[in-house]
Every structure is written in C-alpha cells, then in structure tokens.
Amino acid sequence: MANALIYLDPDSPLSLQSQIRQRVVEGIIGGAFPAGSRLPSSRKLAQQLGVARNTVVLAYEQLTGEGFIETRERSGVYVRDNILRDRVGATDRPQGAAAPDAGWRRKLRLRTQSAPGFHVPRNWQLHPFPFIEGYFDASLYPTAQWREASRLALGTRIVEDGAMNEGSADDPALIEEIRTKMLPRRGIAASADEILITAGEQNALYLLTRLLADASTLVAVEEPGNPRLRQLLRQAGAELHYQSVDAGGMVIDEDLAQAQVVCVTPSHQVPTAVTMNKARREALLAVAARHDQVIIEDDFDTEHNYLGSPHPALRGMDRENRVAYVSGLPRMLSPGLRIGFIVAAPALIHEARKLRQMVVGRPSLLTQRTAALFLSLGHYDAALTRLHKVLGKRWDALRQALNHYHRETEITLPTRGGTSLWVRAPDHVSVDQLVDQAARRGILIEPDSHYYGRGGGSRNFYRLGVTSLREERIREGVNQLERLVRELTGDQLVRIDPADPGLLDSDDLRQALAGSLIHYRTFYTDPCTIELHPDGRMVGRSGHADEDCDEGRWWVEDGLYCRQWSRWSYGEEGRYQVTVHDNVIRWWRPGGRLVDSAVLERSS
Amino acid sequence: MANALIYLDPDSPLSLQSQIRQRVVEGIIGGAFPAGSRLPSSRKLAQQLGVARNTVVLAYEQLTGEGFIETRERSGVYVRDNILRDRVGATDRPQGAAAPDAGWRRKLRLRTQSAPGFHVPRNWQLHPFPFIEGYFDASLYPTAQWREASRLALGTRIVEDGAMNEGSADDPALIEEIRTKMLPRRGIAASADEILITAGEQNALYLLTRLLADASTLVAVEEPGNPRLRQLLRQAGAELHYQSVDAGGMVIDEDLAQAQVVCVTPSHQVPTAVTMNKARREALLAVAARHDQVIIEDDFDTEHNYLGSPHPALRGMDRENRVAYVSGLPRMLSPGLRIGFIVAAPALIHEARKLRQMVVGRPSLLTQRTAALFLSLGHYDAALTRLHKVLGKRWDALRQALNHYHRETEITLPTRGGTSLWVRAPDHVSVDQLVDQAARRGILIEPDSHYYGRGGGSRNFYRLGVTSLREERIREGVNQLERLVRELTGDQLVRIDPADPGLLDSDDLRQALAGSLIHYRTFYTDPCTIELHPDGRMVGRSGHADEDCDEGRWWVEDGLYCRQWSRWSYGEEGRYQVTVHDNVIRWWRPGGRLVDSAVLERSS
C-alpha cells in the first residue's frame, strides 16, 4: 500500500530524491503512513521506482535527520511514533458557503468598493492573442538573474545581517542602490532619509492618500486616469476634481487652484501614455507653489519611455519639496516582487514609515536584499536594455501590422513611444461589444471606459499592447482583429457601385499610373509618396524626413494593378482593381471592397 | 585608471566573474568608465587581478550580451556609446534635513502614534547575552531549505503559471498547503474560500481591525496584551475594554458582554505565554454567541507550545463562524518572509480581500509559491521539529541556570512551555533601571511595562527569552545578570549577624546532617528532597513525581558543609557555612551572604 503512494513525476522540477522525500512526508502528514508503520526498504523501493538505491537511501537519511522516520536495528525503516504528537484532529465544522454566516455583513464597519475595471481572464496566457498592456509574457522575466540575486541574499552573512530583526529600518543596501542607480536615471538626487520602501506601488499610493487626504480635502486627478487611485481617494473620503488630459499631458489651468492635493502621472500618463511636456511641468510646479499644494507624482511605467531622451521626474525639478514621488522596480518584476518606494521630504517619510509599520510592517528584508543585489549586479540595467530591445521590435511589428491591415478609424500614439496605443472602435460598434467579440476569438483587448471617473466618459477607444504578446504573433493578431471589425461593420463598408463600377482596364491603368506619383498618409499620419516608374520600378518614401523608404515592382495584369514591395506590406504581392475620379485614386479588392485611397499626381 | 577600479574581494559571496562584472557596471553607471572609453584587455586584466583569463573573458561576454560593452575589431573592448542615453543628470536640489519642508506637518490629515514599546538595538546580535524573546539567532534559519524552495519557485513553468498576473487570487498551491498541512495541526478544517493570504500577521490584524472596528465599536483586549493591536484599534477609532489575564488565560466574565469585538491570543498569550484552558475557551464562545460578538483570534507563536498536547484553536471549536483566525508561517521566518493569513467566514474573507487589494495588493506570488514549496517539501514540519529540539534544550539550560543562580524573587512560567519566562525584579529596583544597567553589560532583557494598555501597569517583571541566545551562552548570561541584581540590591541582602553568627562547627555539622532529610522547593516551586547518608552519599529527588533525580557526595571540612552533585549545580563543588534554628537550615557563603534555606528533618 505504502509503495503505491510513492511515485515519481518525470516532469517535476524536483530531484528524484526530493520527490521521494516529499511523497513520504505527504503520506505521513496525510495519515497514509501511520505513526509506527513500516516503510518499504530502500532496496525494494529503489527497484519499484526504477531509481538508484542510493537515491532512496539519501532521501531516507534526510527524513531521519528531520525526525520523520527512524531506522530500527535489524528491522527496517519506520515512521516515528510521536511524529504527529503536536497535531490535533480536525473538526467537522461545516465549511465554506455551507457554514453559518453569523451576519458578518451587518458587523462590517468598513465596506470597500471593488476597483472599477476591466478584468483580465486568469488564463490570459492561454489566449492566442493577448494584447494586454502591462501583462508580461514569461520570456521577459529575468529568471536566472533573479535566482542569482535571491541565492546570494540567502547567504548566511546576509541573513545574520538582520533578516531576523524586527524594526522599521529598511535595508540600507537597497536604499543605496535606489539612490545611486535608479533615481539618477530620473534626475532625482535624494538622501537616505527621503526614501521609504513600500510593499509595491499600490501600497505607496495607499500610504500617501491616507496621510494627505480626508473628507476635508479636494484632490485633483487626471481624467482619464488611474481607477485604483480614485478608489483610494474615495475611500479616504476625499472629494475629486477632474482635470482633463491632452497630448501634452494633464492640462494645467486655474481650475487646479482649488485643490489641496494634485495627483499626476507625468512621465507616462495613465492610460494615454502621453508624456507631460516641460512647459506644463514648470507650470504645474508654479501653480502648486502659488497655492501651497502637495503633488503626488506616480512615475508609472517610466521604464517604457524609450524614444528620445526622457524628461526628469517632477521630483527632480521640485525646489520646494512639494512633490511626493512614487515608483517601483520595473513593472515586469512587480507581480512577483512587490517592492515600491516613496521619495519625499523627510518629515513626510517619517510619518509614512510609522503608518507603514501599522499597515503592513516592513517589507521583507530578504526581498529587499534580493532587490538590492539584483540592482548592484547590474541586472536592473541589463533587464531594461533587454526589455527595450524586445519591446521596441514588438512595437515596430504592431505599427507595421496596423499600417498593413488597419483602415479608417483614428489611432493615438504615445509621445515617447511605449508598449501600447489606442484605437477608436468604428462609429457603429461599441468598444465593449468589440472587446467581448474579440475575446471569443482569443483576442484580448482593453476598453477605455474604466479610466473615466465621471462615468460614461468612454471615447469608444480600445488599447493594443505588446508586453504580453510575442513579436511573431502580432501580425496575425492584428489581422484577425481587423477581420472581426470588418465583419461587425460589414454594412458600413464602401463598395464599388455595381451599377457604375468605372474600373480602369489594363491599358487605362498603364497609362494612368506609369510615371505618376501617389501621395497618401500612413495610419500614424506620416506622409508617404510612391513613384511608379514606367519601367516597372517602384520607390516609396515615408515619414517627414523620408526616414522609412522601400523599393519594389509594379505591373498590370488582367485589369488588375499589381505591386510587390521588398519590405513594406511584408513583401507580399498585392492585386487590386482601381478607379480614378478627378485626382483621387482608389484601390478595391477584387470583389469590390475599398482598400485605400490616395492622391494621384499624373506625370507631366 | 580603469584598472584601479576593478578589484576583487576575497570575502565576497560573489564569484570572481560576477565581481568583475559588477565592478565594470558600477564603473559605467558611476561615470568612472565613460561611454566610448576603452576597457583593459581580458589578458591584461586577468594578469592584474591574478585570475584565469577565461574568467575575465566570460565576464566581458556577459557584459556584451547585456549591452554594456562592445568589442571592436582589432581594437579592443569599449563601453557602448549610448549606454547612458536614458539617464538624465541629477539636480542640485538640497536634500534631506537641509531641504525646505513645505510645511508637511500642517498638511497631514492622519497622524500615527508610534507603537509604544521596547526598542531592541539594531545590532542586538553583537551583544554577548541577548535574552530577547522573538528574535532568532541565524543558526535557526532554514537557509538551505528556503533557498531550495525559492530556486524551485523561480522555475520558469511556475513563473508562467501566473507570477506575471495581476489580480487578487492567491496562489492555489499555498492555500492548499495551509489548508492541509498547517491548519489540521490547529484543529481547523477550512475551505479555500475561507482563507486569505496577507503580507504578514501585522497586515492581517490591520485588515481585520479596519473592517470590524470604528468609533462606534467597543473592543475587548487582553491586559497585559499586544501593544501593536491596541495601536491598530485606537487608529480605527475604537474604544478599548481591558480584560485581565491570569494563569488560565484571558478572564471570561460578564464584563465582556458590552464588547462587540473580542481580541484574544489563546494558544500563547501575549506577553505572558499562558495557554487558555478548555473551559475558558468554551465559556468565551458561549459569551460571544449570547451577545452576538465577533472574536479575533491571534494564534500567535503557537509553534512554540511544545509541552503537552496542544489545544485546538478557537476557530477549530467555533461552530457559528464567529472567529476570525490570524496566523502566519513560523515567526522565525517572518522577518524575512511576511506571509500571514486569515481564516474566517467567506463573507468576511471576501471583504478582507477587497481591502487588501487596496492597501497592499496581493502578496508577491513568487513569495507565495516559495512558501508553498517550503511546506510541500516538508521543510515546515522539519523546521518545527528542529526548532523544538533546539529551543527545548535552551529552555532546560535556562531553568537549570536560574535554579543555580537565582534567589528570592518570583518567576512565572508559561503553562505549555515555550521560549521565555518572566522574572520579578527585586522590590527596590525598578525594572526599567535594571534593563538599562543590564544592556550596558551586553545583557538584553525586556521589561513588562509596554504590554499594559492602561499605563503604569508594570508589575516590575522582566522577560528572559532563549530564541536569540545559543545554549552554551545561557548559563553565563544568567550568572552575570544575577550578579548585577546582587550589586543593585547589595544592601538588602540577608547576612549573618556578626554579633551572633551561631555557625555550626564541624562536629555539630556532622551530627546535625548525617542521615537527615532536607526539604525545599526549586525556584519553579517543584518540591525537592535531599537525603544525606552517614556514609557521605547524597541522593536528591525533585519534581512532583521525582522526575528529576541526582546523586552526589557530601562532607564536612574546616567548619564548612561541602557537597558535589554529579549533574545538579553543574556538578560543581559547593562549600558553605551553616546555621540551624528550630528546623530551618540556612546556607551562607563564606563571608556571610545567605545562599538558601530549607526545612531540616532530623534523622530519628
């Protein structure tokens, strides 16, 4: 019987020895191997499992050392008699939903509203096309580096260093790494007494909102903005003032004057990902000074600003110590890590530390030391470099795919690049409907609705993100999403008028196109010009400084305009019907759906 | 120059390769190796450092892969040009105390009282005699086991399992381990929807006090009791009702009736370490049912109840779902771990989860999975077994030392054994004074004062704990502490009346003692009898069932009574002057200070 309970899982990450040991322990604790019962001999068990006898012997030795089993002279291996002495029998109390409720709801003194929002399915990684911003596919996780850091953190000298201490002092090694490696990237000079480690960024925001907001406080927040922040402020009892956001970030005007606290995400606005420009930053600090306001700066996701040179954080420009700065280790790590930090005036840090001790205590010193080593070993810088490389490629793939498949509706891009962009759903389709339909086909996209605090504020946009989707999947994901959009909007599509198609035939085509220039704009509104040379060569120039060029061939065949780029449109051949009215040229799929249109400049 | 910055630390836990890599990264980030500057060749650096060339080559390869450096054909190794592109220069903002304050104090909407209490010096491990309960010397930390668990937790498949998910669902593996391995020890049967993982026990208590107490709530707490719990309840605005504690645990009487919430530590009362008896537990549940009360049970430190068979937790006896149970992984792990949990009715768990998400978010899934593996590998059971073995030995050493050195004042012991006991400071010495004086001699002890919520409640007791002190140090620590006590109380000592010493001479001694019985009680009030046989043999029996016996020799020499046990009193020879009045025998140190007294039963 005992033997049957000991089996090995070839796919287990555990060594054979560990597996044997684990099965025996489970058997003992589960009661399958009662105290005093005899276990199979190492020889017998080794045979049965088909492992080296020594593997079993070592597992048994470990179990003996740990007091689970004992070897009796000339008799065999036995489960120790008093092994379960300190366990008491479980009761038969009804559990779970079945259990009596004792009217808890009546007894609650505090009710928490669930954070509004979009809920990503727990099994998102099993979906073929998860375009979910802020989720990271495992390939991005620096497993080996983190493992090295945690192995070192567990080095005895470090454990002796204080992992056993209670107290409120953070790991000086981590403070120093943040001070000297992370904050300089953000233009922030800080001393140790201006930094507090928190159990993640959410915890940092909780502490600050509790400390700085109550029923007597008016707090300015971005609209659209972070729903979790609004939830925290409402729980603190604060009144919210909504400040709109445009391409320059949060709008700075005299409406701000009434607020005592201003919450802002300048480097990578949530959710639009626009970066607040320098003028706005200076204006914001000026308003804050004039009205003696406090600013909570969430430096969210700044590590994804990899285009152009980054702005310094507000905290870095803050001469008056009005800014409380919140950040954390790269988001890619955060779900597994939960290390955030606040940088602010010592007086505020002092209060935040006391509150932190009550709320959650000091974040694990082992985790703090692990993070410190991760930084000091340069893994942080290396991880960012790698992240930017990978995400940059995915970003290009997304732009290329949209250029190839997307038509008509507006798209807004982050100002400093990033990992996601927003697409307007077609007029006649609600974004929530689109999100549902897409999910049924394994395409996960996020609607904009939950980012609006005043309700009903949705602009009917959805987000396409690339943090959770590998490069090679992006094209097909966009293709299938656009196909879905076309199905949902089928009847709104422009089609050739069957009564008067007005298609050019082969001869007209050659005559109209040979030596002509075609002008249009990419979906991201870069100008693009294509030269069709009489000899069949084709040259394309795109971007304000022609930064993106390509060459290809064009020809006419059976009344169809055919073209093939070497890079653009994935280097694939395209065959279209063509109409020209005045100087507007239109391409149609054989069958009649409009593909695109442009301005045709005839050759003189 | 560059070379000077690359050096190796023979004591570093890092490999040579990692150290080289780390130095180079620090040099680049610190600006010592400017972008584009040339690094020493691997050959040169290897020579200079006296390491194998391949070590340097591998470090350089890693750095190249990570984008820090690049090799240029026929030229050498260089720092990459754009390596610091995404860093902005730090500002010259005045920092720390020097910085302007922006009147933060005025702006604070919430002030936190620091937890009252005794502050253990951060360098406590450098003190020769830290008798600090609840701090653990590094020898008790299961470093290797924890390292194994965290290594496995970082196995990619587990990372893919969801470490990258946001969300509020805890690691099912950890829930299952707690459900099946930890809770049965406590007599608790729970379903998954009755368990919430928290960021440590403090965080669990914070969530429950916020949910169940506000200005309209009267909460009964133990007196003496946990100061941090009182702090949490006051912050929630609750009114406190103090319920006294005796040898049976918290007193249960009709005073409890007024409270809506009762907070209790039944298995190991904080701070007295007494265990609440079964009758009290049933009485408490009955009162709670009668008055529809909620009970918060902190199952603090239960793993240290290793004497006798443990009581089940209140939650295990609770038929009406009134008990919210708080516990965590063994305290020995907690400073480095911060994993606690709540077991309660699903309705309450549901609310606690929503609040947890706001306050701190879900505790790190990597840490959760590491803890799950730590449990599933049986390391938890093994660690407890080992802990009990080690702490049990230390406990005996403490009792033996006190028996040998301690005189006069009262001592209270935990009812279920444990890791600490309380000693009354001599009447004329305030415990705080004693604590200060002792600390100056490297002896750390804790006063009882901060456990009393009504203020001034100190009974002038101090605690001696053995979790932080190795067995071999205990005797000397107690010895030096008792010496200090004697110095502080010098003048109160009983001394022989020089006018009329009434010492027995050798002949009287032999006559009085040969064949007599000596009866007394040990400091922990076990009866003890010593037979002095005429032939010089000596037999001692101690304990209510003579469970502790020893043999030895006694003799008389130069008017001194001499004795030597084989085990008792560390088997050391003792020489005393003796007086006998009526049937009371007193031993005096040569010089005249009273050592001890007992009842002498003359041989018939």
Residues of chain A with C-beta less than 8 angstroms from the C-beta of B390: none
**What integer pLDDT is reported at residue B90 of this predicted model?**
47
**Can you tell me the mean pLDDT for B38-51?**
87
In angstroms, rounded to a whole number, what is the distance separating the alpha carbons of residues B601 and B604? 9
Indicate the residue of A26, A141, A158 with minimum beta-carbon distance to B159.
A141
pLDDT of residue A560: 94
Residue at token pair 């340097």: B56
pLDDT at B292 over 70: yes
ipTM of this predicted structure: 0.81
* pLDDT band of B1, cuts 50, 70, 90: very low
Higher pLDDT, A491 or A524: A524
What is the separation of C-alpha A319 from the centre of its chain, rounded to a whole number of angstroms?
33
What region, left, alpha or beta, does residue B171 occupy, with left being phi > 0 and alpha being psi -120 to 50 degrees? beta
Which residue shows structure tokens 């993070």?
A371
Say whether B338 and A364 touch across the interface (CB within 8 A).
yes
CA distances from B392 to A63, B141, B174, B305 (A): 21, 16, 29, 10
Q: What is the mean pLDDT of chain B?
A: 85
CB atoms A317 and B104 under 8 Å: no
| pLDDT, mean over chain A | 85
Tens of pLDDT along B352-364?
999 999 999 989 8
> Closest Cα partner for A154 from B377, B145, B124?
B145
State mean pLDDT over B518-523. 82
Three-state DSSP class for residue B10 = coil
CB pair distance less than 8 Å for A319 and B88: no
d(CA B251, nearest CA chain A) in Å: 24
Average of pLDDT values for B124-150?
A: 82
The residue of B29, B109, B114 whose CB has the most chain A CBs within 10 angstroms, and thus the best one to mutate to test that interface, is B109
Residue from the list B112, B147, B193 with its beta carbon closest to the beta carbon of A355: B112
Gap between the Cα atoms of A362 and A582, Å rounded: 72
Over residues B324-341, the pLDDT tens digits come to: 999 988 777 765 678 999
Rounded CA-CA distance B424/B420 in Å is: 13
- Residue B212, phi then psi, degrees to nearest 5: -110, -5
In the sheet where A195-198 sits, what is the strand order? Answer: A195-198, A340-343, A323-328, A294-298, A261-264, A218-223, A239-246, A249-250
More confident residue, A545 or A599: A599
pLDDT at A90 over 50: no
* Record: contact B358-A89, CB cut-off 8 A: no
> Given a cut of 70, is residue B493 above it in pLDDT?
no
Check residue B158 and give its pLDDT: 52
- What's the burial of B160, exposed, middle or buried (CB within 10 Å: 0-12/13-18/19+)? middle
Of the listed ranges A285-289, A404-408, B399-403, B503-507, the one predicted with least confidence:
A404-408
- The stretch B204-220 carries a mean pLDDT of 95
Q: Which of A90, A134, A202 sits opposite B361 (nearest CB)?
A: A202
CA–CA distances in Å: residue A380 to residues A148, A183, A386, A419? 13, 13, 10, 19
DSSP A270-282: TTT-----HHHHH
Nearest residue in chain B measured CA to CA from A99: B321
Torsion angles phi and psi, residue B32, rounded to 5: -65, -35
Poorest-confidence range of A96-100, A249-253, A519-523?
Answer: A96-100
DSSP A425: P
Handedness of CA A128, A134, A137, A139 (dihedral sign): positive
State residue A481's pLDDT score.
Answer: 94
Q: What is the pLDDT of residue B85?
A: 57
- Per-residue pLDDT reduced to its tens digit, A360-380: 998 988 888 889 989 888 888
Rounded to an integer, the average pLDDT of B304-308 is 57
Q: Chain A: give the shortest CA distance to residue B400, in Å.
A: 25
Q: Give the CA radius of gyration of chain B.
A: 32
B239-283 pLDDT tens trace: 999 999 998 899 999 999 999 999 999 988 888 888 898 899 999
CATH class of A3-79: mainly alpha
- Does the pLDDT of residue A80 top 80, yes or no? yes
B364 contacts on A by Cβ (under 8 Å): 335-338, 367
Would you state the structure tokens that stand for residue A424, as one six-digit string?
A: 């307007």
Contact flag B381-A347 (C-beta cutoff 8 Å): no
pLDDT at A329 over 80: yes
Average pLDDT over residues B82-110: 66
pLDDT tens sequence across A165-215: 667 889 888 999 999 888 988 889 999 999 999 999 999 999 999 999 999
Q: Is the pLDDT of residue A414 over 50?
A: yes
Q: Which amino acid type is present at position B305?
A: N
Whether residue B89 is predicted with pLDDT greater than 80 in this model: the reply is: no
What confidence score (pLDDT) does residue B574 get?
92
Report field, pTM of the whole predicted structure over 0.90: no
- In terms of phi and psi (left: phi > 0; alpha: psi -120 to 50; beta: otherwise), the region of B338 is left
Q: Which of A449-458, B332-341, B380-389 has the lowest mean pLDDT?
A: B332-341
pLDDT band at B489 (very low <50, low <70, confident <90, very high): confident
The H-or-E segment that residue B570 falls in is none
Q: How far apart are the C-alpha atoms of B526 and B522, rounded to whole Å?
A: 5
Dihedral sign, Cα of residue B136, residue B140, residue B145, residue B147:
positive
**CATH architecture designation of domain B506-601:** Beta Barrel (2.40)
Nearest chain A CA: its distance from B307 CA (Å) = 9
Q: What is the pLDDT of residue A593?
A: 80
**Considering chain A, what percentage of its residues have pLDDT values greater than 70?**
88
Question: Which segments of B149-200 are extended strands (E)?
Answer: 195-198
Written as six digits, the tokens of B435 are 């604590």
CB contact under 8 A, A360 and B206: yes
Are residues A109 and B184, on separate chains, in Cβ contact within 8 Å?
no
Contacts of A124 in chain B (CB under 8 A): 165
Of A165, A348, A354, the CB nearest to B114: A354
pLDDT confidence band for B99 (50 / 70 / 90): low
Q: pLDDT tens across A266-293, in order?
A: 988 888 888 898 899 999 999 999 999 9
By DSSP bridging, strand B584-588 and strand B594-601 are antiparallel
Tell if the CB–CB gap between B93 and A364 is shorter than 8 Å: no
pLDDT category at A10 given cuts 50, 70, 90 is confident
Q: Could you tell me if B349 and B342 are in contact, meaning their C-beta atoms sit under 8 angstroms apart?
A: yes
In one letter, which amino acid is A82?
A: N
Interface contact A164-B386, CB threshold 8 A: no
Residue A111 backbone phi and psi in degrees, to 5: -115, 135
- Residues in chain A with CB shorter than 8 Å from the CB of B93 are 189, 316, 318-319
Q: How confident is the model at residue A1 (pLDDT cuts 50, 70, 90)?
A: very low
Q: What is the pLDDT of residue B604?
A: 57
What integer pLDDT is reported at residue A88 of this predicted model? 53
CA B382 to the chain's CA centroid: 19
3-state secondary structure of A201: helix
Cβ contact B316–A101 (<8 Å): no
Q: Is the pLDDT of residue A163 over 50?
A: no
Q: How many CA atoms lie within 13 A of B214 on its CB side?
A: 7
Between A357 and B32, the higher pLDDT residue: A357
Contact B337, A364 (CB under 8 A): yes
Residue A87: pLDDT over 60:
no
Class of domain A383-492: alpha beta
Helix, strand or coil, per DSSP, at residue B393: helix
Q: In what order do the strands lie in the sheet with B69-72?
A: B38-39, B76-79, B69-72
Residue A98 class from Cβ within 10 Å (0-12 exposed, 13-18 middle, 19+ buried)?
exposed
Q: How far is A399 from chain B (nearest CA, A)?
A: 23
Which of B348, B298, B296 minimizes the C-alpha distance to B327?
A: B298
Nearest-by-CA chain B residue for A211: B110
Please indicate whether, in this complex, the C-beta atoms of A228 and B358 are within 8 angstroms of each other: yes
- Structure confidence at residue B210 (pLDDT): 95
Task: Find out whether the peptide bond into B10 is cis, omega within 30 degrees of 0.
Answer: no
Residue that the structure tokens 């239109």 belong to: A586
Rounded distance between C-alpha atoms, residue B219 and residue B235, angstroms: 13
What per-residue string of b and e applies to B25-40 under the rule 16 or more CB within 10 Å gives b?
Answer: bbbbbeebbeeeeebb
Closest to A306 measured CA to CA, from A442, A176, A414: A414
Rounded alpha-carbon distances, angstroms, from residue B399 to A186, B444, B466, B522 = 58, 18, 11, 10
Q: CB distance B159–A143 less than 8 Å? A: yes
For residue B315, pLDDT beyond 80: yes
In this prediction, residue B211 carries a pLDDT of 95
The architecture in CATH of the region B162-376 reads: 3-Layer(aba) Sandwich (3.40)
pLDDT above 70: residue B484: yes
Alpha helices in B73-219 (DSSP H): 104-107, 143-153, 156-158, 172-177, 201-212
- For the ranges A48-52, A135-139, A193-197, B443-447, the lowest mean pLDDT is seen at A135-139
Lowest mean pLDDT: which of A302-316, A513-527, B204-218?
A: A302-316
Cβ of A102 within 8 Å of Cβ of B162? The answer is no
**Non-local CB neighbours of B408 within 8 Å, separated by 6+ positions:** B426
pLDDT digits (tens, 9 = 90+) for B175-204: 999 998 889 888 899 999 999 999 999 999
The mean-pLDDT minimum among A406-415, B38-47, B158-167 falls in: B158-167
- Cis before residue A142, ω within 30 degrees of 0? no
Q: How far apart are CA B129 and CA B470, in angstroms?
A: 9
Domain coordinates in residue numbering, chain A: 3-79, 162-376, 383-492, 506-601
A570 class by beta-carbon count within 10 Å (0-12 exposed, 13-18 middle, 19+ buried): exposed
pLDDT on residue B93: 60
- Of B23, B47, B43, B27, the closest CA to residue B35 belongs to B27
